[in-house]
Structure 1
Amino acid sequence: MINHDNLEEYRDPINYDLEFGGETNKYNFYLDMARLNPGEVLELACGTGLTTIHLSKSGIHITGVDISSSMLEYARVKAQGLPVDFIEADARTFDSEKRFSMIYLTGNAFQAFLSDDDQRALLETVYKHLESNGIFVFETRNPLGTDLSNQEESIWGNFIDKDGIKVKISGTQSYDSSNQIMHWVTIRDWGSEKTISRIACRFTDNDTLQRLLTSRGFCIENQYSDWDKTPFTPLSPSIITVCRKHGA
């Protein structure tokens, strides 16, 4: 089941890009992965196409899939004239005749799949749409390298919005340890108004993650802690996983 609260974060695509864009090291990591595995690429949960468009501008033929129509609408505006297709679909049920040399998720999107069934459905989509020996790449926050304590409202940062206004960002977090789900509430303060959005993310430890991937037909080739390909360690804040499809 989709947690519809998660979609609140994606109501304002232009300001979303201004708040979360500019992660050049990440974009180049996925570009390098695509170049090492020539062919067509699929990004699931692509949002406004921040990474998708970066790859497309470098000549990669890529398809972006997302469940949010507003995010995709803005992605299409930005991608005019580029070799990229955007499709509105749920990554758990997406179905295409195409097969891809590489499939990836970024922005910790793997954590939006909140149940065992959701994770399995996502991986079935990936396995089905990968070419034989294709690669699957994604990152997720590492629970052992993350502060999972419950926290009252605190300052998180700021960004400059599309009208040049400095927006202050604060929020709270509450962790449901029985389901490994963090609930974040984000408060954005424009001075004249405030918005509140909620998002839920599941934290899967690396041992569980490795068992899950192996059980769904993937062989893990590398795990990194950052976009510079520093090897993963148990307390790294991120788990960046590169795995390959086994079988036909």
Structure 2
Amino acid sequence: MGYSLLAKYYDRFMSDFPYLRWGDFIISQIDVTKPTLELACGTGNLTIELFKKGIDVHGLDLNSQMLTIAKSKAVEQNLDIGFYHQNMINASLAGFSNIICPCDGINSLLSHKQLNMFFQNISMQLKGTLIFDFSTSHKLKKLSEQIFYEDYDDITYYWKTKYLKTRDIANLELTFFEKSKLGYYIREDLIIRQKGFTVKEIEKILINHGFSIEGIYDDYTLVSASNDSERVVFVCKI
């Protein structure tokens, strides 16, 4: 149930996210004449933004509730975007020359085995550009034990991160209180797990799978990533 509630309010919680800036960066790095697939597209915010900028883009996600909202938004705006329900680890990528995976999609891969499977699958199918980002171990450690919240009339949520140092795993503990039609609030809890990675770990795996690394950037800028970077963006070719 927690994922359904997250999907329902996701766009509100993410309303200040810099999708415009991310979209401009991605467009500057890809062949805009070729089809693009966004992995872990969620409710399609970036997908729709790229489509409106003239990119032939489609989205893929494992969360069916998120995809339902993404499809609904595309239909409402009369946008011809395909959204696919697949696991990005072994997704079919035929026909796409640009693959993007933004907003911590990589962090959902909770082991190096899954990470290797993910990049191997892309390397076997893609001839083009891969762009992805991830939250670094540095960021996840920094978030540990901090509490964030947002409060509205109909929904309130609290988010606390617990970092497991021995496994480099962060448990994002979300608690929602949604107002019912009768006026009382119903509580639902959700734990999202993310694995932290370092630039060197990712770089080594990419090279092993035949990728050429074009750039390693700090948070969708052209500034090179550093040890203090919290979101790192890789631009790769294969």
Query: TM > 0.5 between the two?
Result: yes
Q: Distance in 1 between matches of 2:147 and 2:235?
A: 34
2:28 partner SS: helix
The counterpart of 1:228, out of the listed 203, 213, 221, is 221
Q: Distance in 1 between matches of 2:222 and 2:15?
A: 21
The counterpart of 1:204, out of the listed 191, 197, 204, is 197
Offset, 1:8: 4.0
Q: Distance in 2 between matches of 1:144 and 1:239?
A: 11
Q: Which runs of 5+ in 1 are unaligned?
A: 1-6
Aligned to 1:3: none
Offset, 1:11: 4.2
Question: What are the equivalent positions in structure 2 for 1:169-248 lying under 5 Å apart?
Answer: 169-190=157-178, 192-245=185-238
Structure 1 range deviating more: 206-215 or 17-26: 17-26
Q: Does the 8 Å contact 1:67/1:88 carry over to 2?
A: yes
Q: Does the 8 Å contact 1:187/1:197 carry over to 2?
A: yes
- Is it true that 1:76 corresponds to 2:71 in the alignment? yes
Higher relative contact order (CA 8 A, sep 6+): 1
- Is it true that 1:94 corresponds to 2:82 in the alignment? no
Task: Provide, for residues 67-121 of structure 1, a one-character-per-residue CA deviation record: whole Å limited to 9, x for no partner.
Answer: 111111111111123232111111112125x232210111111000111221112
Alignment size in residue pairs: 229
Cα pair distance change 1:168/1:70, threshold 3 Å? closer
Structure 1 range deviating more: 137-146 or 46-55: 137-146
Root-mean-square deviation (CA, aligned residues, Å) is: 2.3
2:41 partner SS: coil
2:174 partner SS: strand
Cα pair distance change 1:182/1:12, threshold 3 Å? closer
Q: Distance in 2 between matches of 1:217 and 1:18?
A: 39
The counterpart of 1:33, out of the listed 23, 29, 32, is 29
Q: Distance in 2 between matches of 1:41 and 1:106?
A: 13
Offset, 1:47: 1.1
Q: Distance in 2 between matches of 1:203 and 1:56?
A: 30
Offset, 1:189: 3.8
Cα pair distance change 1:149/1:105, threshold 3 Å? closer
Relative to the length of structure 1, the TM-score reads 0.83
- Is it true that 1:66 corresponds to 2:58 in the alignment? no
Structure 1 range deviating more: 235-244 or 21-30: 21-30
Q: Distance in 2 between matches of 1:49 and 1:8?
A: 19
Q: Does the 8 Å contact 1:42/1:63 carry over to 2?
A: yes
Taking only the aligned residue pairs, the percentage that are identical comes to 21
Amino acid paired to 1:138? F
Offset, 1:149: 7.1
Amino acid paired to 1:15? Y
Q: Distance in 2 between matches of 1:95 and 1:53?
A: 21
1:193 partner SS: strand
- Is it true that 1:18 corresponds to 2:12 in the alignment? yes
Cα pair distance change 1:159/1:136, threshold 3 Å? farther
Structure 1 range deviating more: 121-130 or 49-58: 121-130
Amino acid paired to 1:108? D
Q: Does the 8 Å contact 2:171/2:192 carry over to 1?
A: yes
Structure 1 range deviating more: 8-17 or 117-126: 8-17
2:166 partner SS: coil
The counterpart of 1:121, out of the listed 103, 117, 120, is 117
Offset, 1:196: 1.7
Offset, 1:9: 4.0
Question: What are the equivalent positions in structure 2 for 1:152-167 lying under 5 Å apart?
Answer: 155-158=147-150, 160=152, 165=153, 167=155
Amino acid paired to 1:125? N
